[in-house]
């Protein structure tokens, strides 16, 4: 892997840890305290994580100089697709496979890391 690509991926992972912490915090709060269904809580958490992720990835991972008007719509299209995919995977894992919601979210997150890095690198923040 090229050094710049490696730096971007590591920074993406760091930004992802922070964004995912926001996502999981909302998920856990809504399920455990708010008694919201896990799939719904995960969708709301994913939106929170997406906002955090945009800020961090635009400014630190891809260090984009492109205007928000060009990058934000692309980023949030990727985020919306990721939220839809997140919801489908969470429903599959929790409803049909009956996995515990937390571990279902961990598996879902692992899949989405790879997909969203590629899409954001090659499309959202492409210079």
pLDDT digits (tens, 9 = 90+) for 50-105: 899 999 999 999 999 999 999 999 999 999 998 899 999 999 999 999 999 999 99
Question: Within the chain, where are the H helices?
Answer: 3-32, 38-56, 68-91, 101-119
pTM of the model: 0.75
- If you average pLDDT over residues 29-47, what whole number do you get? 94
CA-to-CA distance for 84 and 60, rounded, in angstroms? 26
Domain count for the chain, please give it.
1
- If you average pLDDT over residues 3-21, what whole number do you get? 94
CA-to-CA distance for 30 and 38, rounded, in angstroms? 8
What is the structure's pLDDT at 76?
A: 93
Is residue 1 pLDDT above 80, yes or no?
no
Domain ranges, residue 70 = 3-124
Spatial contact of 52 and 19, defined as CB atoms under 8 Å apart: yes
């Amino acid at each position: 892997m090229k050094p710049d690509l490696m730096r971007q991926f590591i920074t993406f992972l760091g930004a992802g840890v922070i964004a995912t912490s926001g996502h999981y915090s909302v998920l856990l709060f809504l399920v455990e305290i708010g008694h919201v269904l896990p799939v719904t809580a995960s969708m709301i958490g994913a939106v929170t994580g997406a906002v955090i992720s945009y800020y961090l990835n635009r400014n630190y991972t891809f260090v984009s100089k492109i205007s928000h008007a060009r990058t934000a719509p692309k980023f949030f299209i990727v985020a919306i697709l990721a939220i839809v995919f997140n919801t489908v995977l969470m429903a599959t894992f929790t409803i049909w496979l009956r996995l515990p919601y937390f571990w279902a979210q961990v598996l879902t997150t692992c899949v989405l890391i790879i997909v969203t890095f590629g899409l954001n690198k090659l499309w959202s923040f492409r210079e």
